[in-house]
Amino acid sequence: MVPSLDSILDSGDDSLFNAAVRGPGPKGALPLTGELLRTRPSGDLFGWTQDAGMGWDPESLGAREVLILSTHGGLRAPGGSPVALGYHTGHWEVNLLVEAAACEIKTLGAIPFAGYCTDPCDGRTQGTPGMMDSLPYRNDAAIVLRRLIRSLPTRRAVIGVATCDKGLPAMLMALAGSPGLPCALVPGGVTLLPEQGEDLGAVQSIGARYAHGAITLEQASSVGCRACGSPGGGCQFLGTAASSQVVAEALGLALPHAALAPSGHPIWLDMARRSARAVLALEQRGVATKDILTEAALKNAMTTHAAFGGSTNLLLHLPAIAHAAGLRPPTVDDWIAVNRRTPRLVDALPNGPRNHPTIAVFLAGGVPEVMLHLRRAGLLELGALTVAGVTLGETLDWWERSERRRRLRAQLKEREDVDPDDMIMDPEAARRNGITSTVTFPKGNLAPGGAVVKSTAIDPSVVGAGGVYRKLGPARVFTTEPAAIAAIKSGRIVPGDVLVLAGRGPLGAAMEETYQLTSALKHLDFGKHVAVLTDARFSGVSTGACIGHVSPEALAGGPIGKLQDGDLIEIVIDRTRLEGSVNLVGAGGVRFTAEEGARRLAERPTRPDIAPDPALPADSRLWAALQQASGGPWGGAIYDTDAILRLLEAGKRALER
Residues known to be catalytic:
539
Query: How many Cβ atoms from other residues are within 10 Å of residue 587's Cβ?
Result: 19
CA distances from 1 to 4, 9, 13, 416 (A): 9, 17, 21, 50
Written as one letter, the residue type at 182 is: P
What residues contact 237, with CB distance under 8 A and at least 6 apart? Answer: 199, 200, 201, 348, 349, 350, 357, 358, 540, 541
How far apart are the C-alpha atoms of 578 and 574, rounded to whole Å?
5
Is residue 100 within 8 A of residue 273, CB to CB? The reply is yes
In our burial notation (b when 16+ CB lie closer than 10 A, e otherwise), range 162-175 reads bbbbbbbbbbbbbb
Written as one letter, the residue type at 375 is: R
How far apart are the C-alpha atoms of 424 and 371, rounded to whole Å?
10
Query: How many Cβ atoms from other residues are within 10 Å of residue 506's Cβ?
Result: 28
CA distances from 216 to 169, 208, 222, 224 (A): 38, 11, 10, 12
Outline where 151-265 has alpha helix (H): 167-176, 206-211, 217-226, 240-250
SS3 for 584?
Answer: strand
Handedness of CA 219, 220, 224, 227 (dihedral sign): positive
How far apart are the C-alpha atoms of 192 and 441, rounded to whole Å?
33
Task: Please name which of 184, 203, 185 lies closest in space to residue 244, comparing C-alpha atoms.
Answer: 185
SS3 for 318?
Answer: helix
Is the bond leading into 353 cis (omega within 30 degrees of zero)? yes
SS3 for 585?
Answer: strand
Is residue 68 within 8 A of residue 98, CB to CB? The reply is yes
Provide the CB-side half-sphere exposure for 29 (13 A, CA): 3
